[in-house]
Structure 1
Amino acid sequence: MRKYKFFTNFDEEEHWLNDMARQGWRFARKTPFGYEFESAKPENAVIKIDYRSFKKQRDFEDYCALFEDSGWEHIAGTKSTGHQYFKKIGCQGREDIFSDGDSKAGRYKRLSDMWAALACSFVPLLAVLISTGAIDPGVLLDLKALYYTPGLWELSGAGFWRAFLFETPFALFRGVFWLIIPIMIVIYLYFASKANRQYKKSSE
């Protein structure tokens, strides 16, 4: 079963995953747009989340082994996904995967840095596209300039509407598609800011 959800708060995500386990749905893996579950016996699972990525597979394996030695099984996540999911093994594990509040809050700081880095990665691309003339923000003030059909605006009646409707998808692509870049920058900065606020709140 797939569930499409998005969380910016680790505590809320943990609570939801644990509630799904109590309903008989075992968390299998996280996808880019949600979660995958497998039908299982209902259980009072304790799932905790860390946010950490690794450059080397060996470092990732050592990281997972450290948690396993403390009574936590790594159930989802890879060295580069960032989100790492752990499930408490029986009664032998500690009540939390974090030893103190600072280390627990640190996951929000790493998440905030990731979102900010994504936002910054789009800025040079946007600057290059504008400086080379590949995109022209000014066309938003003159939408007619997006239509290349000769004499389009002199046409009338059915001929105009056929030509206009035929070219409109192409015009929108030329004039509006690039707006995805600044929109993504704003969205990533919003998530970075939200994670940073959560980091400060958790650090208090």
Structure 2
Amino acid sequence: MSHTVRKLFFNFEKEEQWLNNMAAKGLALTEYSLARYVFEDSAKGEYIYRIELLEDGIKGAKSVEYLQFMEEAGVERVPMNKGQVSYNKWVIFRRRASEGPFIIYSDTDSKIMHYRRIHRLWISLALMELIIGFLNVGLVAMDYISIVSNINLVMGLMLIILGAAFLLFSLPVRKKINKLQSDKLIRE
């Protein structure tokens, strides 16, 4: 039986934990898109899930090679909903729990690189939203477009708030990078 759950995450680790909790309850993820997950009944704890942000989009040369490597290692990529864009960089992997532990990043350097990709994503989104937001507010201040200045002001303020939220989402990732780097220095 198919179950659809609508839920939005801004932290991939919490999303990964939630997916593994769903698997422990006997629900296997079969497809996903933004804030939409489709599950089917399965044996409890049949799969272990991991989420990764690829360097390239799914169809990029490096990503295709990496995805083939993961498939050869017995790891499945959960398909995205057919309506999703093909340049998405986020992927959800799963592997049968009976095959043992499933860890994508076993060394500190690769973990740091993964968190840096995520951090760059949040910072890029934040900068884009802040720039566009301040431009909209600036148009209102210069009163170039008096008829739609209220719309520009509201949209600009909303984009600035969204940009600030993206900056906030980047802070825990930055802290993880700093912690991993300091742990690495201690071990060396």
Matches of 1:72 and 1:94, distance apart in 2: 12
Aligned residues: 172
Matches of 2:161 and 2:131, distance apart in 1: 14
Q: Which amino acid aligns with 2:93?
A: F
Is 1:191 matched with 2:169?
yes
Alpha-carbon offset, residue 25 of structure 1: 1.3
- Equivalent position of 2:127 in the other structure: 120
Percent sequence identity is 22
How big is the alpha-carbon RMSD for the aligned residues of Structure 1 and Structure 2?
Answer: 3.1
Distance verdict in 2 for CA 1:185–1:90, change over 3 Å: closer
Matches of 2:43 and 2:68, distance apart in 1: 26
Structure 1 portions without partners, runs of 5+:
139-145, 149-169
Is 1:106 matched with 2:113?
yes
Matches of 1:5 and 1:202, distance apart in 2: 27
1:128-139 matches, within 5 Å, as: 128-131=135-138, 133=139, 135-136=140-141
Per-residue deviation, residues 10-52 of structure 1 (Å, max 9, x unmatched): 2x33222112112121112332224332333333321112211
SS of the equivalent of 1:136 reads helix
Q: Which amino acid aligns with 1:195?
A: V
- Equivalent position of 2:158 in the other structure: 180
Matches of 1:93 and 1:79, distance apart in 2: 31
Whether the 8 Å contact between 1:25 and 1:38 is mirrored in structure 2 is: yes
Distance verdict in 2 for CA 1:175–1:123, change over 3 Å: closer
- Equivalent position of 2:9 in the other structure: 6
Q: Which amino acid aligns with 1:51?
A: L
1:87-106 matches, within 5 Å, as: 87-89=94-96, 91-92=98-99, 95-106=102-113
- Equivalent position of 1:21 in the other structure: 23
Matches of 2:37 and 2:51, distance apart in 1: 14
Alpha-carbon offset, residue 137 of structure 1: 9.6
Structure 2 portions without partners, runs of 5+:
184-188
Matches of 2:64 and 2:12, distance apart in 1: 26
Matches of 1:111 and 1:60, distance apart in 2: 16
Q: Which amino acid aligns with 1:32?
A: L
Whether the 8 Å contact between 2:129 and 2:163 is mirrored in structure 1 is: yes
Alpha-carbon offset, residue 192 of structure 1: 1.5
